[in-house]
């Protein structure tokens, strides 16, 4: 870890300005991801702006009937909030399926969205990695890539985004509110927030330098049952091999609408829009779930070690859709 200077931000605007002022500055929230990366010198900020004590830790009702989650709301608090539990149960399930109780107590909503990949080559500075060091190559492409992406990857990078929370938020059509150094704000649909790697895997989101996440807004809960299903190598404290967030609204024996997001498959939470389209109006049957899963993974590409994720994602989606319907 390289030495750095530190300041505690007094306000959101000031925090944004402080980071914007220096190209080598970064925000720090819970620090559960950033500090690990700094210890390994994968991240080497020379200046940290601590935003963990800004008054952005509230969950408020919005006029539209949704919730506005402050950037500094802890993962554990968000999961436990009674409004979240009753109206967005999928979000609670996803949060509780992530990390450990200790980490969730520290992790912030914004930090969770911005956590970086767990690709083991990214984590080892001696290995080629385009995300860590542009143009150095991708060691995972021909290497140990069991955890890697099957959708939306490029030759430059096949890493996945590890967040569970973000997958649920994607299914819920969350919007990410930011504040820029000049004080201007914008709301970014979560689907547009993370970027696919293409030729620039080191650019992971659409945020500008110094642009700070202030909150995440959840629209009113969509009709239908919500289920988050995470498949992993051990019972807890493991990143998703694949995960599926599904909201299925039924009308009689038919599906009126469905929303599906996948985790562990791409550099961003992956909305299965084609599958959603196919399910709308279809009979709530095994056949429809199977077809939807096939469609969702139609473009999937394995890289050897992660080939199994394609059938696994299909099976998990089929089963999760069925579970969402059953509990309806």
Partner 1 sequence: MTETKTSENRPSETRNGIIGRPIDRIDGPLKVTGGATYAYENALEGTAFGYILGAAVAKGRIAEIDTAEAERAPAVLLVMTHRNAPAQPDFGPAVTPTVPEVFTRARPALNSERVRYYDEPVALVVAETFEAARAAAGLIRVRYDEEPGVYDLSGHMADAYAPKRTNAGFETDSVIGDFESAFAAAPVKIDATYRTPFEHHNPMEPHATLAAWSGNELTIHTSAQTLANFRAGVASTLRIPPERVRIVSPFIGGGFGSKLIAHADTILAALAAQVLQRPVKIALTRQQMFANAGHRAEMIQQVRLGAATDGRLTGIAHDVWAATSSFEEYCEQTAVFARSLYAAPNHATRHRLVPLDINRGEWMRSPGEAPGMLAFECAMDELAERLGLDPIELRIRNEPAQDPERGVPFSTRNLVTCMEEGARRFGWQRRNPTPGSTREGRKLIGYGMAAAIRPNYIGAATARVAIDRDGRVTARLDMTDIGTGSYTILTQIAAESLGLPISSVKVELGDSRFPRTAGSGGSWGAASAGSALHNACNALKERILEAAQSSEASPLRGANATEASFADSEVRIGQRSASLADLIRRIAPDGFEAEGSVAAGAVTQSYKAYSQHSYGAHFAEIAVDCDTGEIRMRRMLAVMGAGRILNAKTARSQIIGGMTWGIGAALMEQTVLDPRYGHFVNHDLAEYHVPINGDVPEMEVVFLEEHDDKANPLGAKGLGELGVCGAGAAVANAIYNATGVRVREFPITLDKVLPALPVIAI
Residues lying near partner 1 in the complex (CB under 8 A) are found at 1-3, 39-41, 118, 120-121, 123-127, 139, 142-144, 146, 231-239, 241, 286, 289, 308, 311-312, 315-316, 318-319, 322
Q: In the complex, what is the shortest distance from the CB of residue 121 to ligand SF4, in angstroms, rounded to a whole number?
A: 4
Query: What are the structure tokens assigned to 290, written together?
Result: 């199977």
Q: Are 157 and 203 in contact (CB under 8 A)?
A: no
Distance CA(213)–CA(114), nearest Å, equals 10
Distance CA(130)–CA(120), nearest Å, equals 13
Q: Is the dihedral of CA 191, 194, 200, 201 positive or negative?
A: negative
Q: Are 138 and 202 in contact (CB under 8 A)?
A: no
Considering only 9, 17, 20, 32, the residue that binds ligand FAD (CB under 6 A) is 32
Q: In the complex, what is the shortest distance from the CB of residue 19 to ligand SF4, in angstroms, rounded to a whole number?
A: 24
Q: Please tell me whether residue 34 binds ligand FAD under the rule CB under 6 A.
A: yes
Considering only 119, 190, 247, 288, the residue that binds ligand SF4 (CB under 6 A) is 119
Query: Using CB distances below 5 to 8 A depending on partner kind, what does residue 142 bind out of partner 1, ligand FAD, ligand SF4, none?
Result: partner 1
* Closer of 26 and 303 to ligand FAD (Cβ): 26
The owner of tokens 């989101």 is: 205
Distance CA(208)–CA(212), nearest Å, equals 9
The order of strands in the sheet holding 5-8 is 5-8, 47-50, 25-28
Residue of this chain nearest to ligand FAD (CB atom): 111
Considering only 9, 25, 157, 227, the residue that binds ligand SF4 (CB under 6 A) is 157
Considering only 112, 145, 180, 316, the residue that binds ligand FAD (CB under 6 A) is 112
* Closer of 116 and 175 to ligand SF4 (Cβ): 116
Considering only 27, 121, 193, 239, the residue that binds ligand SF4 (CB under 6 A) is 121
* Closer of 54 and 284 to partner 1 (Cβ): 284
Query: What are the structure tokens assigned to 309, written together?
Result: 């994720």
Return the ∠ at Cα 218 (arms to 93 and 8), rounded to 5°.
90
Distance CA(221)–CA(234), nearest Å, equals 31
Q: Please tell me whether residue 139 binds ligand SF4 under the rule CB under 6 A.
A: yes
* Closer of 113 and 149 to ligand SF4 (Cβ): 149
State the alpha helices, DSSP H only, in 185-279: 190-193, 273-279
Distance CA(260)–CA(271), nearest Å, equals 6
Q: Please tell me whether residue 266 binds ligand SF4 under the rule CB under 6 A.
A: no
Q: Are 20 and 27 in contact (CB under 8 A)?
A: no
Query: Using CB distances below 5 to 8 A depending on partner kind, what does residue 244 bind out of partner 1, ligand FAD, ligand SF4, none?
Result: none
Q: Are 142 and 306 in contact (CB under 8 A)?
A: no
Q: Stretches 126-134, 161-169, 250-258, 289-297: which one binds ligand SF4 (CB under 6 A)?
A: 126-134
Residues near ligand SF4 (CB under 6 A) are 117, 119, 121-122, 129-131, 138-140, 157-159, 201
């Amino acid at each position: 870890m390289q030495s750095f200077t530190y300041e505690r931000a007094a306000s959101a605007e000031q925090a944004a300005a402080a980071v914007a002022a220096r190209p080598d500055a970064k925000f720090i929230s819970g620090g559960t991801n950033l500090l690990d990366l700094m210890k390994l010198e994968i991240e080497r900020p020379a200046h940290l702006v601590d935003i963990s004590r800004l008054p952005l830790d509230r969950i408020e009702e919005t006029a539209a009937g949704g919730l506005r989650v402050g950037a500094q709301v802890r993962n554990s608090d968000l999961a436990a909030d009674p409004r979240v539990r009753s109206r967005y149960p999928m979000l609670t399930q996803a949060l509780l399926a992530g990390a450990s109780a200790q980490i969730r107590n520290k992790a912030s909503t914004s930090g969770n969205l911005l956590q970086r990949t767990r690709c083991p080559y990214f984590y080892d500075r001696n290995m080629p990695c385009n995300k860590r060091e542009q143009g150095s190559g991708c060691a995972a492409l021909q290497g140990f890539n069991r955890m890697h992406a099957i959708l939306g990857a490029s030759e430059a990078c096949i890493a996945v985004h590890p967040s569970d929370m973000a997958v649920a938020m994607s299914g819920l059509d969350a919007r990410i509110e930011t504040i820029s150094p000049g004080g201007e704000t914008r709301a970014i649909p979560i689907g547009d927030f993370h970027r696919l790697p293409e030729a620039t895997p080191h650019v992971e989101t659409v945020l500008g330098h110094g642009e700070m996440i202030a909150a995440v807004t959840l629209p009113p809960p969509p009709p239908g049952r919500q289920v988050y299903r995470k498949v992993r190598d051990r019972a807890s404290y493991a990143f998703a091999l694949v995960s599926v967030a599904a909201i299925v609204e039924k009308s009689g024996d038919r599906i009126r609408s469905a929303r599906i997001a996948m985790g562990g498959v791409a550099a961003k939470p992956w909305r299965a829009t084609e599958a959603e389209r196919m399910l709308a109006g279809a009979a709530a049957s095994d056949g429809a779930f199977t077809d939807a899963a096939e469609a969702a993974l139609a473009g999937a590409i394995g890289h050897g070690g992660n080939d199994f994720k394609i059938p696994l994602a299909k099976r998990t989606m089929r089963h999760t859709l069925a579970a969402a319907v059953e509990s309806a």
